[in-house]
Amino acid sequence: MIGETPLRPVSLLNVRVPAALTDGLPLHAHDPETGLALTSFAIDEQGHIASASHAPTIDMEGRIALPCFIDSHVHLDKAFIIRRTGLPKGGLLDAVRLSIADAANRTQADLRERMEKGLQLAYANGTSAIRTHLDTPEMPAESPAWAVFNELRTLWKGRLALQAVALMALERVETGEFAERCRQIAAFEGVLGAFVPPGEATATRLDTLFDYAARFGLDVDFHVDESLDAAANGLELIAESVLRSGFKGRVVAGHCCSLAMRSEADAAALVAKVAEAGIHIISLPHSNLYLQDRAARRTPRLRGLTLAHELRAGGVPVHFASDNVQDPFFPFGEFDMLEVIRSSVRLAHLDTDIGSWIPELYSNAAAATRFDAHGRIVTGRSADFIVFDATDWYGLLSHPHSNRMVFRNGVAQSLGKAKSPGNPDLRELFAMEFS
């Protein structure tokens, strides 16, 4: 059970932070290679970060503090259905089939229970902002998922910032009700989404989608090229449509696995086009590595990750997110962004420049989703951050850290009493504050 205790005012000494994710804090012992620096700061009576205080002090002994997480791509409406659907025998299309077969079970009561569980886990693990995709075959105003999301967004206001994307087939732009669909998405303060499998994207469809998005003031978030087909050209057509239309909203493209199957020259040309169009790319390593090149009783040969390093080098903002949790697209996980970061660093070899990559995972997620108030530790803002029993990146990324301390508006939460090897429990540092 999560325990909470008021912990303000108090001064925290010798906290190790990513320097690029702080504003207004005194920094020293800054290591350019790791991007980490030591700082000390206070939590004032309002639960805000303050640069100095006469309050009691706690020496953090160089432990790492990160801003609360931004999870920019999840599927709350599908979470935890794996025990109903079973595992996919094949890849993405088989997972889609299992998910569609389960759709009849998604009553408002069922959705509310599972989506609430997902929010509770994300909140406990230290996330402060979430963008979820919601399957929207019906009109949003008639959707149980959107009704539940709207309730939960109100219920969680002040604790979790929530956005929703109306995920639908791209071909819906050709229906007569698409304008009304976009109007309803805008009324929900939502984002226009589209699933773009290989062969479904056309210039006409995409130009139409961006025209409606501009008309109703909507940002756009795609599932695109989620395959290992080198000929998949959805991302390229999206970039060309953005450039052709001059669309000014935010455009996000998730997955983009097929980019890794292109030749070096073709990939470089596409990266340049995506950069020119200003598209944000989200890599989803858990579901992509689970589903791509998947077949029964056969070891996968191909990885299914997009070209994170090449995109970044070409000026495209890239970050990573959770995607699916305990559903046929990925039957594991618990909405823990630390787990996602650990996987991303290891699988995409981000360790070679980890001091820059991890801050960019925060800043790029905030930019892609407009969660501008999240993902930084800032003097004068709410004291929302996470302290870990680790003093360097290796220590942080080698353990699940079930004993992390999550601070929300200066109030400390504890996930549990597990200790990292060779270190005291974090609770011991705060013993005087716990009853």
Judge contact between 268 and 314, C-beta under 8 A.
yes
Residue 262 φ/ψ, nearest 5 degrees:
-80, 160
Choosing from 45, 116, 226, 339, the catalytic residue is 226
- Measured over the CA atoms of residue 418, residue 159, residue 362 and residue 65, the dihedral's sign is negative
**What distance in Å separates the CA atoms of residue 101 and residue 85, rounded to the nearest whole number?**
8
**What distance in Å separates the CA atoms of residue 418 and residue 292, rounded to the nearest whole number?**
35
Q: How far is CA 202 from CA 209, 223, 233, 239, 240, in A?
A: 11, 15, 9, 12, 11
Judge contact between 134 and 146, C-beta under 8 A.
yes
In 19-138, which ranges are E strands? 22-23, 27-31, 36-43, 49-50, 57-59, 65-67, 69-74, 127-135
Judge contact between 167 and 194, C-beta under 8 A.
yes
**What distance in Å separates the CA atoms of residue 254 and residue 76, rounded to the nearest whole number?**
16
In the residue annotation, 226 being an active-site residue is answered as: yes
Active site (catalytic) residues:
226
